[in-house]
Amino acid sequence: MRKVRIIGAGLAGCEAAWQLGQRGMEVELFEMKPLAYSPAHTSPYLAELVCSNSFRSMDPETGIGLLQLEMAELGSLIMQVAQDVAVPAGKALAVDRELFSKEITRLVTAHPNIKVIYQEVQALDEVADGSCPVILAAGPLAGAHLANDLARIIGQDSLAFYDAIAPIVSTDSVNMDVAFWASRYAPEDKDYLNCPMNKEEYLRFVSELKAGDRVLARDFESQAHFEGCLPIEVMAERGEMTLAFGPLKPVGLVDPRTGTQPFAVVQLRSENLGKTAMNLVGFQTRLTYAEQKRIFTMIPGLEQAEFLRLGSIHRNTYVRAPEVLTQYLELRARPGVYLAGQISGVEGYLESAATGLWLGLFLAGKIALPPVQTALGALLGHLRTPAKNFQPSNVHFGLMPDLGCKAPKKKRKVLYATRARKTWQQWYQKVEE
């Protein structure tokens, strides 16, 4: 029987193990709990949900709703159990977290092809001896010894330990009567979308930032404030003009409507080649999601902004995937070792499980790469798309190729979703054959 070893029995590790086990492969699944716990894990069960109990929207006209459908069709364990222990949550898929982890633990530990080994893996070589493929799925809070070993193998600069995420908005939700394309000192350049502010708008914005409700840092996250990526609200607290001399500095930018330099400028940088999604430069933040929506829509041009992702700052171990992984999630520096879950460069419970699902099926010889027009394909595509400043991502329409046609904002979601479903069904037919 062919064997695969997996490090970490979280969402990605359990999903991968299940897929492999179901296809007759022998799995050794290493889990450090209950011998050692990360600062956020507390339960002895596998596939623990460390924070929210929600797998987000089930709306099939969202990236995550589509991903849920695709995962369910591929026979996802995480999706199956989530549906079995779902609690009422409107349009969201939320679960009873204890029942969820207990049931996954029961199914995984009882599987005849899966052996759970309770041990903290401290170095890759302990399990990656060349005799079988290894999946590293140790999560965003991977044990320190193992994380340091990975950094040694791929290079210190290729492994991040913190994540400072700025919000992303969809380009077609930006008010182009206010915002303008230009780079600093290059008005003809279309790299940045600029939202100009006058003095009054700027000062009101700074004052709201300072007063905004924040997510409290956990103990193990208290060192998250590096000077290089301070939360925008912390910068605002340092002085009224700190932002105007920092990320909101207007120098080199002329508003084509007034012919003058604005008092301050919020710059948006494109997230993809199609420029369908834009990142608010320097807007990493600990403001609550509700406050981000309220305060960031005060920015001229963003009044009606659709947020594809909101900002956050948290402890997160992940690789700079496009540099260190092949398209099949295999470490270039250590062939035979694959990455799945948050550590591979995705963000979110389901996205983590989705990479484990795909990798399990891939190593069982059952699946190829899905087209990038699908949710799973777009997510995996993100991991191989070169980026100057690679950051983990949730699944959203901005990761998919542009529609290639003009359509009103409301219709675009439907068009993305329809194309995704159609492409998926054509591709999935071949998987089944």
Ligand X SMILES: Cc1cc2nc3c(=O)[nH]c(=O)nc-3n(C[C@H](O)[C@H](O)[C@H](O)COP(=O)(O)OP(=O)(O)OC[C@H]3O[C@@H](n4cnc5c(N)ncnc54)[C@H](O)[C@@H]3O)c2cc1C
The site for ligand X (CB under 6 A) is made up of: 7-13, 30-33, 38, 40-41, 50-52, 120-121, 137-143, 146, 314-315, 341-343, 348-349, 352
Q: Tell the smallest beta-carbon distance from residue 390 to ligand X (Å).
A: 17
Residue 426 burial (C-beta neighbours within 10 Å; 0-12, 13-18, 19+): exposed
Alpha-carbon distance 192 to 213, whole Å?
29
Name which of 13 and 247 has its Cβ closer to ligand X. 13
What's the rounded Cα separation, in Å, for the pair 195 and 279? Answer: 12
Strand order of the sheet with strand 26-31? 114-118, 26-31, 3-7, 134-136, 337-339
Smallest separation (angstroms) from ligand X to the CB of 142: 4
Choice between 9 and 278, CB closer to ligand X = 9
**Shortest distance, position 365 Cβ to ligand X, whole Å:** 23
Toward ligand X, which CB reaches closer, 205 or 318? 318
State which residue has the least CB distance to ligand X.
10
Shortest Å, Cβ 147 to ligand X: 8
CB within 8 Å of 129: residues ≥ 6 apart? none
Q: How far is the CB of 358 from ligand X (least distance, A)?
A: 13
Task: Supply the minimum distance, in Å, between the C-beta of residue 348 and ligand X.
Answer: 4
**Residue 268 or 359: which CB sits closer to ligand X?**
359
Tokens representing residue 158 in the block: 């290729």
Query: What gap in Å lies between CA 127 and CA 185, rounded to an integer?
Result: 53
Shortest Å, Cβ 185 to ligand X = 39
Long-range contacts of 245-249 (CB under 8 A, 24+ apart): 246/282, 247/281, 247/282, 247/283, 248/197, 248/202, 248/282
Residue closer to ligand X (CB basis): 167 or 371? 167
Specify the residue, 63 or 140, whose C-beta has the smaller distance to ligand X.
Answer: 140
The least distance separating ligand X from the CB of residue 11, rounded to whole angstroms, comes to: 4
Strands 277-280 vs 264-270: parallel, antiparallel or unpaired = antiparallel
CA pair distance 206, 241, nearest whole angstrom: 9
What are the residue ranges of helices labelled H in 160-271? 199-211, 232-237, 242-245
CA angle (184, 187, 193) in 5-degree steps: 70
Q: Which is nearer to ligand X, 171 or 394 (CB)?
A: 394
Residues 6+ apart with CB under 8 A from 59: 65, 91
Q: Which is nearer to ligand X, 7 or 400 (CB)?
A: 7
